[in-house]
Amino acid sequence: MPTLPAVRSCPFAPPDEYLRLRDAGRAVRVRMPTGSTAWALTRHADVRAVLGDPRFSSDRRLPQYPFFAPTQPSAHAPARISLIGMDPPEHSRARRAVVGEFTVKRLEALQPRVQQIVDEHVDRMLAGPRPVDLVEALALPVPSMVICELLGVPYADHDFFQTRSGLLLSRVPTVEERNQARGELWGYLGRLIDAKAAAEDPGDDLMGRQIARQKAESGGVDREALIALGFLLLVAGHETTANMISLGVMALLSRPDQLAALRADPSRTPAAVEEMLRIFTIAEFVNARVATEDVELAGVLIREGEGVVALSSVADHDPEVFPEPAALDFDRGARHHLAFGFGIHQCLGQNLARQELRTVFDTLIRRVPGLRLAVDPDELPYKDDAHVYGLHELPVTWD
């Protein structure tokens, strides 16, 4: 039986093992690193179907939940689970409480600040020595600063959460190391929330507004729920966008024709962002589910209690839906990709991510026209050892 997860041999395509799974059938039994088994789905239609079907649970406390790591983190995790691990109606309530913070209009209002943050980092990069690691200089600090300001977490502590969230999404650390990282972040957020809750004015930021709203509604603060929310947004806000920025810049620098096309017509950047999201589909480990009843899907009977992994990287390379899937083609109209998932758990921060990606690509193209890779593309260190695909380092230089 094939074992998941597997490693990509080319950053622009899913792992070869996953492509073989696709050829083996619509639903294939696989072994997870914990030793449990699950159904792997690979077709675009099947992945959408399972993620949009309420008969599949996202509850990570279920013993059959198919984790992509050798340990079941939930066994050691704090009691409270965050949005991505909840089912309705608990999930619907919790998501509804925060979704107003991420509306398209809200984010448009945030755009000037995002641009300012990007410009400041590009200024600093241009003033410094070259070559430079773009991950350090731009890809990580930009989303980090944005999510900190949005949440109301002091950016001055960024080293602390960058290292912890990196650890949590890596497959390398031991259970103890991961638990320690989780515990430290949990404690940090708890202290922050206590301080905000005790203050006269909790602050005009996401955490502050949640605290004010909870106090107005119930007179108190659901501390654990707020920690879980802050934890999810902080970790997700760091690693995902950062990795998409570095992969996207790598893609542009190694596909000069596509880069030239964007430079000639910047109005195409949103389409380019969708295509990059599709081709890389970096965070599929979140698309695991457990059947809560017997369901016929993808041509098989999935029994109650069986795990399912919806391999979105393969679905986003389904040749029936995206012809010549490994080709980066900004004109293909890739908006129905599944890089942000599908169904009720579709990424809450997706439009923030789109906005940051657009701003970074546009700004780099405009302000650093001579940008290029400082090493051979084959030497780039990809994150084959992490739950979220990306680059450990992206050395670049400019003329």
Partner 1 sequence: MRLIADTSRCVGAGQCVLTDPDLFDQDEEDGTVLVLDGEPAGERLEHAHEAVRLCPGQALSLAE
Rule CB under 8 A: is residue 95 a binding residue for partner 1? yes
Of 325, 317, 329, 322, give the one whose Cα is nearest residue 258.
329
The amino acid occupying position 258 is Q
Q: Give whichever of 70 and 88 is closer to partner 1, judged by the CB atom.
A: 88
- The single residue among 343, 353, 362, 394 that binds partner 1, judged by CB under 8 A, is 343
- The single residue among 34, 162, 180, 351 that binds partner 1, judged by CB under 8 A, is 351
Rule CB under 8 A: is residue 111 a binding residue for partner 1? no
The token pair that represents 14 in the structure block: 């899913």
Q: Where are the beta strands (DSSP E) in the chain?
A: 27-31, 37-41, 56-57, 132-133, 288-291, 295-297, 300-302, 307-310, 372-373, 395-397
Rg, C-alpha atoms of the chain: 21
Q: Give whichever of 102 and 398 is closer to partner 1, judged by the CB atom.
A: 102
The count of C-alpha atoms lying within 13 angstroms of the C-alpha of 391, restricted to the half-sphere facing its C-beta, is: 29
Rule CB under 8 A: is residue 341 a binding residue for partner 1? yes
What distance in Å separates the CA atoms of residue 233 and residue 251, rounded to the nearest whole number?
A: 26
Rule CB under 8 A: is residue 100 a binding residue for partner 1? yes
Nearest distance from C-beta of residue 273 to partner 1, angstroms: 11
Q: Give whichever of 44 and 164 is closer to partner 1, judged by the CB atom.
A: 44
- The single residue among 113, 124, 191, 335 that binds partner 1, judged by CB under 8 A, is 335
Q: Give whichever of 105 and 296 is closer to partner 1, judged by the CB atom.
A: 105
Of 138, 139, 184, give the one whose Cα is nearest residue 161.
184
Rule CB under 8 A: is residue 344 a binding residue for partner 1? yes
What distance in Å separates the CA atoms of residue 185 and residue 173, rounded to the nearest whole number?
A: 16
Q: Give whichever of 68 and 102 is closer to partner 1, judged by the CB atom.
A: 102
CA dist 53 to 28, 200, 204, Å? 19, 44, 37
Contacts (CB under 8 A) with partner 1, residues 49-68: 52
Nearest distance from C-beta of residue 10 to partner 1, angstroms: 28
Q: Give whichever of 92 and 174 is closer to partner 1, judged by the CB atom.
A: 92
How many residues belong to the site for partner 1 (CB under 8 A)?
24
What distance in Å separates the CA atoms of residue 309 and residue 286, rounded to the nearest whole number?
A: 9
- Angle 15-161-231 from CA coordinates, rounded to 5°: 80
* Piece of the chain touching partner 1 by CB under 8 A; list 91-99, 143-151, 231-239, 365-373: 91-99
Nearest distance from C-beta of residue 95 to partner 1, angstroms: 6
Q: Give whichever of 182 and 289 is closer to partner 1, judged by the CB atom.
A: 289
> Rule CB under 8 A: which residues touch partner 1?
52, 95-97, 99-105, 335-336, 340-348, 350-351
